[in-house]
C-alpha cells in the first residue's frame, strides 16, 4: 500500500501476491519524491527478508535516488517485536551508504514514535532544499 502526499510516498510492505500487480505501477508515483516512509511489522520475523528485498528493490528505482528514507519499525508494543537495531540489521540499512536514512521505533495504535519520525523526515527534506 502506498499514499502519495505532495511528493512524499508513504509505503508499507504488502504480501508478494499483491506486489505482482502493483509494483510495475509504483514508478509512476515516484517522480519528484523527496522522502520515502517504509513501514515494517517488527513482530513479523518470518517476512522481514521479504520486506528487505522489497525496500531495496524500491530504492533501486532511479526516481528515488535522491529521496531520504524513514523506516518505521512498527508494532513495538508487542512483546516479541524486533527492536530498531535488529530491524536495521535485517533490512541491511547500513549498506545504504549513499542514502540518508533513519529508523524510528513506532506503535501506530498509540501514536508512539510517529511524530518523532515525521519530524526527522520533514527536517531532512527541508535541509536538502
pTM to 2 decimals? Answer: 0.83
Strand partners, 36: 9, 69
Read off the C-alpha cell for 101. 536514512
* E strand or H helix that includes residue 119: helix 114-128
Rounding to the nearest 10 degrees, give the CA dihedral for residues 65, 67, 68, 69: -80
**pLDDT tens digits for 21-78?**
666 666 677 777 888 889 999 999 999 998 999 899 889 989 889 999 999 999 999 9
d(CA 92, CA 24): 23
Most confident of 12-16, 27-31, 121-125: 121-125
More confident residue, 19 or 50: 50
**Residue 77 labelled as part of a binding site:** yes
All domains of the chain in start order, with CATH? 2-128 (3.40.50.300)
> What mean pLDDT do residues 104-112 have?
95
**Residue 74 among known ligand-binding residues:** yes
Return the SS3 of 75: coil
Q: At what angle do helices 48-59 and 16-30 cross, to 10 degrees?
A: 20
Q: Could you tell me what percent of the chain has a pLDDT over 90?
A: 57
Alpha-carbon distance values, 50 to 6, 41, 84, 128 (Å): 28, 11, 17, 30
Single out the residue of 84, 65, 64 nearest to residue 74, CA to CA: 84
Amino acid at each position: 500500500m502506498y499514499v502519495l502526499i505532495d511528493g512524499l510516498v508513504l509505503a508499507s510492505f504488502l504480501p508478494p501476491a499483491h506486489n505482482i500487480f502493483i509494483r510495475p505501477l509504483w514508478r509512476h508515483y515516484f517522480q519528484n519524491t523527496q522522502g520515502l516512509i517504509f513501514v515494517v511489522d517488527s513482530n513479523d520475523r518470518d517476512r522481514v527478508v521479504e520486506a528487505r528485498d522489497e525496500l531495496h528493490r524500491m530504492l533501486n528505482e532511479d526516481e528515488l535516488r535522491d529521496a531520504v528514507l524513514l523506516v518505521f519499525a512498527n508494532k513495538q508494543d508487542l512483546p516479541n517485536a524486533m527492536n530498531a537495531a535488529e530491524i536495521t540489521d535485517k533490512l541491511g540499512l547500513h549498506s545504504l551508504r549513499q542514502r540518508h536514512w533513519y529508523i524510528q521505533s513506532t506503535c501506530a495504535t498509540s501514536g508512539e514514535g510517529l511524530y518523532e519520525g515525521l519530524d526527522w523526515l520533514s527536517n531532512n527534506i527541508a535541509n536538502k532544499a
